[in-house]
Structure 1
Amino acid sequence: MNKEITSVQNTYIKTLVQLKEKSRDRKKSGLFLIEGAREISLALKGNYHIDTVLYVPELFSEAQLDGLSVPSNSIIEISKEVYQKLAHRDTTEGIIAVAKIKSHDLENITFKSKQPLILVAEAPEKPGNIGAILRTADAANVDAVIIANPKTDLYNPNIIRSSVGCVFTNQIATGSTEEIISFLKEQQIAIYCAALQASEVYTSQDFKTATAIVMGTEATGLSDAWLQNSTQNIIIPMQGEIDSMNVSVAAGILIFEAKRQRNFK
């Protein structure tokens, strides 16, 4: 028989609430929450270790639970009240998992080919933008996403939600701008920076070789270190009144041009 927790005052539940709300607690414990069956399935596919699964029997059936293939000794039944305390989304799916955080060091990145395609984002601040970038990266099946100088941890509930679980399906690394530039140069990967200065139209470039497409923030763009080490700055021509677009949209345009050149391999 599964364990059962019905009180929001339960010590373990209080600990989980802190994991949901505070990056510091996630980093300290090495644990985070995943809400939703699809997201949990993607985490399992991405080889994340699931520590515990909590579900509401009235909302999520045992048959659905069996379909997730989680160890039976890690399952806890919870009340709707407890679930509402833990849930981040407005929808009521009835299942939450506690999973172990992965390492995202640059040295852990592996490439399947000698011409990898990488998406780099420097200092993205909005979890919604990060999630959208990860969805784009997953859709294009890029070799890796690298986040320079991250402003928020990858296991922020808003990133998991906005990425619809693609945070688990992409190969992701984080590091400082300087560390990432050194890594790309060591791997002999060309650096194409999305920038207004000294730029050429993105369609004029050859992205079939080992390529990193580097995006800055909409507010400040890329730091000087990137511009000084760029193989070539690239630009998406604007035909309206403004000179920039949403970073995830721009990333999608550039990444899929590279995929087009590679015949979507």
Structure 2
Amino acid sequence: MSKQITSIQNPFIKQLAQLKDKSRERKKTGTFLIEGAREISLAVKGGYKLETVLYYPELFSEYQLSDLKAKIKTSSTEALINIIEISKEVYQKLAYRDTTEGVLAIAKSKTHHLNTLKFSTETPLILVAEAPEKPGNIGAILRTADAANVDAVIIANPKTDLYNPNIIRSSVGCIFTNQITTGNTTEIIQFLKSENIHIYAAILQESVAYHTQDFTKPTAIVVGTEATGLSNEWRTHATKNIIIPMQGEIDSMNVSVAAGILIFEAKRQRGFK
């Protein structure tokens, strides 16, 4: 029989509430909260180690719990994890979403250093996003990267904790399906050049139309924020600066939309391989 916790005053539950709300707590403990059966399953499939599963039986049935346990046991994730039944009050304290599923998990964070990147092809396709700040944009970028099955996503000069619950929510779990690394702009440029990866920076200055370029080679497509664009360092080190021709009154679009246009042009050129 699983352990039960019914009070939001329970010290463990108070700690988990901090884990949900505070980046500092996530970094200190090296753990984070995942909400939702699909997201938990994707994390398990992505090699994340779970420490605890918490479920509210009115929303998450014994059958669903058994199914989730089976997925955990057949993965590379450690099978011996804590299973805790929680009350409605506790679940509402910890849940982030308006639409609830009744299950959460505590998982161990991964390191996201550049030196962890591994490519299974000689012509990798990489999406680089410099200084994205809004969790919703980061989540949308990760969904695009998953849809295109890119080889890696690199976040330059990150402004937001990757395990922010809003990133997990808005990415619908794609934070677990992508190979993600972080670093500062200078070291990322050095890494890309050391790997002979061509850099295509989405920038207004000295640029050419994106569809005129050959993205079948080892390619990194780099996008910046709508507010400030890319830093000058990318412009000076890019193989080519590229632009999406626009026909309306404004000269920029949402970063995740721009990333989608550029990445799928690269996929089109590669025959969607």
1: CA distance, partners of 2:117 / 2:134: 24
- The equivalent position to 2:258 in structure 1, one of 226, 233, 250, is 250
In the alignment, structure 1 residue 206 sits paired with structure 2 residue 207: no
Q: Is the 8 A contact 2:5 2:86 kept in 1?
A: yes
Q: Which residue of 2 aligns with 1:10?
A: 10
- The equivalent position to 2:179 in structure 1, one of 164, 171, 182, is 171
Q: Unaligned regions of 5+ residues in structure 1, if any?
A: none
Superposed displacement of residue 58, structure 1? 1.4
- The equivalent position to 2:82 in structure 1, one of 74, 82, 106, is 74
2: CA distance, partners of 1:167 / 1:92: 20
Cα deviation digits, residues 36-87 of structure 1 (max 9, x gap): 0000000001000011000011110111111112446510000010000000
Q: 1:73 to 1:202 in 2, by over 3 A?
A: closer
Q: Percent of aligned pairs with the same residue?
A: 74
Q: How many residues align?
A: 265
Q: Unaligned regions of 5+ residues in structure 2, if any?
A: 73-78
Root mean square deviation, CA, Å: 0.7
Q: Is the 8 A contact 2:53 2:81 kept in 1?
A: no
Q: Which residue of 1 aligns with 2:268?
A: 260
1:101-112 to structure 2, matched below 5 A, reads 101-112=109-120
- The equivalent position to 1:97 in structure 2, one of 89, 97, 105, is 105
Q: TM-score, normalised by structure 2?
A: 0.96
Cα deviation digits, residues 170-210 of structure 1 (max 9, x gap): 00000000110010000000000000000000000000000
Q: TM-score, normalised by structure 1?
A: 0.99
In the alignment, structure 1 residue 195 sits paired with structure 2 residue 203: yes
1: CA distance, partners of 2:121 / 2:100: 42
2: CA distance, partners of 1:169 / 1:137: 9
1:93-132 to structure 2, matched below 5 A, reads 93-132=101-140
In the alignment, structure 1 residue 83 sits paired with structure 2 residue 83: no
Q: 1:125 to 1:73 in 2, by over 3 A?
A: closer
Counterpart residue type for residue 29 of structure 1:
T
Q: Is the 8 A contact 1:200 1:234 kept in 2?
A: yes
Q: Which residue of 1 aligns with 2:243?
A: 235
Q: Which residue of 2 aligns with 1:53?
A: 53
1: CA distance, partners of 2:195 / 2:156: 17
